[in-house]
């Protein structure tokens, strides 16, 4: 019984260990990829009159957002 359990344990580890290593490598690579190129984003009009003119010309609905480009007076952070 012991030898069967031991064999089962060993074979499980034998399968799991390479899988874990592969997963770790994949995760590391994915993380590197996500920071190695700029992801797609929303094309924001930053001027109200430009955005409104675009909406009028194309008859597309508007997603309007406003945010302050400073935090506690420090720039470079929304």
| Piece in contact with other proteins (CB under 8 A), picked from 5-13, 15-23, 37-45 | 37-45
Q: Does 46 bind other proteins (CB under 8 A)?
A: yes
Rounded to a whole number of angstroms, the minimum distance from the CB of residue 27 to other proteins is 17
| C-alpha–C-alpha distance, residues 15 and 8, integer Å | 11
The answer to the question of residue 67 lying near other proteins (CB under 8 A) is: yes
| Contact window for other proteins (CB under 8 A) among 8-16, 19-27, 41-49 | 41-49
Q: How far apart are CA 15 and CA 49, in angstroms?
A: 61
From the CB of residue 55, how many other CB atoms can be counted at a distance below 10 Å? 14
């Amino acid at each position: 019984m012991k030898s069967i359990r031991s064999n089962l344990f060993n074979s499980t580890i034998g399968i799991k260990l390479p899988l874990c290593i592969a997963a770790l490598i994949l995760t590391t690579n994915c993380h590197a990829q996500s920071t190695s190129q700029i992801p797609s984003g929303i094309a924001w009009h930053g001027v109200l009159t430009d955005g409104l003119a675009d909406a009028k010309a194309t008859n597309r609905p508007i997603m309007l957002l406003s945010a302050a480009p400073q935090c506690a007076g420090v720039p470079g952070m929304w």
